[in-house]
Amino acid sequence: MNLHRESWSQWRPWIVVAVHAGAAGLLAGGSWTVLDVDQVYLLCVPSAQISLLALWSGAGKTPAWLRLPALVLGTIVLTVVFLRLLGVDQGDADQSAGWSVALATQALLVAIAVTLARLWRLLLSKREPGSDDANALRYSLRTLILWTTALAVLLGLGRELLARVGWTDEVLKWNFFLFMPVLGGANAVYAVFVWATLLRRDYWPLRMLLGLLFAGMTGASLSYLLQLLFNDDGGLSWPITLTWALGQAGILYATLLPLGDIRHRSEKGRQAPQAGE
């Protein structure tokens, strides 16, 4: 029985990946377009998936040389899905560049925040040299350096490519371009907060409720923050930003909670024989 449970636990992450890949493919190949607030929930899927990719990139144990390219490629693919849902044509350089900046900002901030949090926890642990935690600390430092290097290379090589698709300096003149980093930062805040509430597994329903309340309050206030900063909400009224925030938080919890429960049960299973001894 335990063997079947362990086997199921090993396959569960791949099932989650398959479900998300199927959802992204369905949205990319479908004819849905977000026309009003009633369909904003569609945008929550690619937005939350970008956050999940960034969380994995910052906290995962897969080699960094694999995680970094996967995050970049995944963010590009999901950005295309996001733009398709918005009905943004490839020829509309202003909007395509602006929303791409928002989602890239989201991915970058989430990955960096999780990596720094991991570094901080390892530094506070004060483990002996050569221990697993000390090795993980060196690994995290190397990951952060790779992140910085990768960003510099992308900025250097991407300029000419972006110009070829019409993303020149002119896109900066779009009236709502400055909105985009703020929106990306808000999405990153939701993701990091949800992740932080799940660092411990006790009282997880209360932690999930706290995360949803935070996302809802922050999402609802985002529209007013835009109004305060730019004297315009860009058409993003509070019902839209609220729905977008809660949708992302809900998808993140629906994905991360089962994976976390697997680890929790697995750890309890390994500890059970020791307790019996």
- Would you state the pLDDT for residue 170? 67
Residue 126's pLDDT is 59
In the chain the first and final C-alpha atoms are separated, in Å, by 21
Q: How far apart (Å, rounded) are the C-alpha atoms in residues 72 and 49?
A: 13
Structure tokens of 8? Answer: 């199921």
Q: How is residue 97 written in tokens?
A: 């560049």
Average confidence (pLDDT) per 10 residues, the chain, 277 residues:
56 82 83 66 92 88 77 89 82 81 93 86 62 51 67 61 61 79 95 91 86 94 90 83 94 88 41 44
Spatial contact of 221 and 239, defined as CB atoms under 8 Å apart: no
Residue indicated by tokens 């590009």: 76
CA-nearest of 103, 95, 99 to 50 is: 103
Task: Indicate the pTM of the whole model.
Answer: 0.79
pLDDT at 271: 46
At residue 38, the pLDDT reads 60
74 phi and psi, to 5 degrees?
-60, -40
- How many CA atoms within 13 Å lie on the side-chain side of 113? 20
Distance CA 31, CA 84 (A): 9
The confidence score (pLDDT) of residue 103 equals 93
Contact 228, 247 (CB under 8 A): no
DSSP state of 168: S
Helix (H) or strand (E) holding 69: helix 64-86
The token pair that represents 115 in the structure block? 């990596």
Cα dihedral 16/20/26/27 (nearest 10)? 160
